[in-house]
Amino acid sequence: MTGFPRERLRVGFVGTGFIAEFHLRAMIGVRNVDVTGVYSRSAANRERICRLAGELGLGPCRSHESLEELVQADDVDAIWILSPNDTRLGVMQVIHGEVTAGRSKVFAVACEKPLARTIGEAREMLRLAEDARLNHGYLENQVFCTPVIRGKEIIWRRAASTTGRPYLARAAEEHSGPHEPWFWQGDRQGGGVLSDMMCHSVEVARHLLTAPDAPRNSLRVKSVNGTVANLKWTRPHYADQLRQRFGNEVDYGNRPSEDFARGNILLEDEEGNELVIEATTSWAYVGAGLRIQLELLGPEYAMEFNSLNTGLKIFMSRAVTGAEGEDLVEKQNAEQGLMPVLDDEAGVYGYTDENRHMVECFRTARRPLENFEDGVAVVEMLMGLYRSAEIGQTVTFPAPELDDYVPLVARPRR
Ligand SMILES: NC(=O)C1=CN([C@@H]2O[C@H](COP(=O)(O)OP(=O)(O)OC[C@H]3O[C@@H](n4cnc5c(N)ncnc54)[C@H](OP(=O)(O)O)[C@@H]3O)[C@@H](O)[C@H]2O)C=CC1
Ligand SMILES: O=C1CO[C@H](CO)[C@@H](O)[C@@H]1O
């Protein structure tokens, strides 16, 4: 490739919501990057992101009235796709169309999790990126969590090298429910909590089990077994609460997606050793806030992490009153009592190192550690888990019947 390395990477955001703001704030910890453009449908949202980019010293950032205009901009090298799951493919088709027609200088694209709602969509995302000769990154932040980077490095260097590889990874992510209505609509989002959050758990677990510097496909999925359930939000009181908060479009009484999921994945390494991933995700967990729990176990060692066991805790008595917020921890459920506080949320959740990695890979024309191929592999595992839950049986891989599979809760409404 010519023209690489670039001195700086100029990024354009598609999407101006919750995750766009997280990425923007995380970019403060990234070198050689500017956020120069943004597109989403509302001008007010775009202005907010441009203003924040300016305040953070990451701009100047220009607001674009159409996706085409953003992709054609002379000062945009790479696009970060940060819009809802049902917009992914449309956004990627526009990027592909503009680049292949020679109207855009964009040479890289990064996309939030999950890469797509089905295997068909995910493979098309990969095909479009490769056909347009774009470098591509899959934004799975948990792989870049600071405790994951440090824990994996120590386990493999000290313990696995002397006593044998890790064989069991447990990953759980739980909170009290998503912040926007589209997450709760199975057809728009692609499913319920299994597609929304188990995408993180299976990939961070697969990453922890993969030897450093070995390709992710050095581990082969042999079979998957999943369970889904509705624990909380289908109860009439809570279904009403959802309707009051989000309007009639979220009808959990009649059209729920799952709020709990469990997945067991059996894998094999290149020497034929069996490995296991145990994943649990839920939107029915009411603790202080979002909780990520990770474990990596091997013959003579164990690693564990719990995102709510923070070093920093703040106690507030019942005399301390004030508005509800998310200023202590993501998806916070209380403002009083002994509360855990993540002093660097963007770092611990992985956004800072994830963005640093993507920017450096794109700037220097290297393939990111997490790319669209990994995004496809994640969707394959998720679809296997959904089908296993639907038929009540373990699904053996390879599973060609999953190619056009759509989870029960994501099938179009009649
Ligand atoms: N890694 C992680 O932990 C997290 C990842 N995510 C992922 O990020 C993505 C976005 O989620 P989140 O930010 O929480 O969602 P939000 O609903 O908060 O924001 C979505 C944004 O997309 C914009 N948007 C909607 N439709 C379009 C469109 N057709 N074209 C361009 N922009 C559009 C909206 O702005 P407007 O109305 O102005 O168009 C809004 O700014 C999802 O894929 C989600 O899975 C989300 C949270 C955490
Ligand atoms: O990890 C996460 C936290 O919650 C969000 C809403 O459910 C998810 O989309 C996200 O992936």
ipTM of the shown complex: 0.99
Shared domain for 170 and 301, answered yes or no, is yes
Shared domain for 185 and 93, answered yes or no, is no
Is 121 a member of any domain? no
Shared domain for 109 and 148, answered yes or no, is no
CATH of the domain at 19: 3.40.50.720
- pLDDT at residue number 108: 98
Contact (Cβ atoms closer than 8 angstroms) between residue 300 and residue 332: no
Is 128 a member of any domain? no
- pLDDT at residue number 412: 86
Kindly report the average pLDDT of the chain as a whole number: 97
Which residue has a Cα nearest atom 10 of ligand 2?
Answer: 197
Is 402 a member of any domain? yes
Ligand nearest to the CA of 176: 2
Is 362 a member of any domain? no
Is 137 a member of any domain? no
> Is ligand 1 within 6 A of the CB of residue 189?
no
List of residues 6+ apart from 69 with CB closer than 8 A: 39
Ligand nearest to the CA of 143: 1
Domain count, the chain: 2
Is 340 a member of any domain? yes
Is 286 a member of any domain? yes
CATH of the domain at 337: 3.30.360.10
- pLDDT at residue number 309: 97
Judged against a pLDDT cut of 90, whether residue 414 lies above it is answered with no
Q: pLDDT band for 211, please (50, 70, 90 cuts).
A: very high
Shared domain for 287 and 170, answered yes or no, is yes
- pLDDT at residue number 1: 64
Shared domain for 24 and 67, answered yes or no, is yes
d(CA 75, CA 10): 6
Shared domain for 205 and 101, answered yes or no, is no
Judged against a pLDDT cut of 90, whether residue 220 lies above it is answered with yes
For the record, the structure tokens of 304 come out as: 């564990």
Task: Work out which ligand 1 atom sits closest to the CA atom of 91.
Answer: 30
Encode pLDDT of 293-348 as tens digits: 999 999 999 999 999 999 999 999 999 999 999 999 999 999 999 999 999 999 99
Distance (Å) from CA 19 to ligand 2 centroid: 9
Shared domain for 168 and 277, answered yes or no, is yes
172: containing domain: 143-351+378-408
Encode pLDDT of 50-61 as tens digits: 999 999 999 999
Task: Identify the CA nearest to 23 among candidates 310, 362, 358.
Answer: 358
Contact (Cβ atoms closer than 8 angstroms) between residue 111 and residue 140: no
- pLDDT at residue number 413: 72
Tell me what the mean pLDDT of segment 238-260 comes to. Answer: 97
Shared domain for 103 and 153, answered yes or no, is no
Task: Work out which ligand 2 atom sits closest to the CA atom of 193.
Answer: 7
Shared domain for 249 and 313, answered yes or no, is yes
Shared domain for 170 and 247, answered yes or no, is yes
- pLDDT at residue number 223: 98
Encode pLDDT of 68-119 as tens digits: 999 999 999 999 999 999 999 999 999 999 999 999 999 999 999 999 999 9
Shared domain for 109 and 149, answered yes or no, is no
Shared domain for 187 and 96, answered yes or no, is no
- pLDDT at residue number 28: 97
Tell me what the mean pLDDT of segment 171-188 comes to. Answer: 98
Could you give phi then psi for residue 278, rounded to 5 degrees?
A: -115, 120
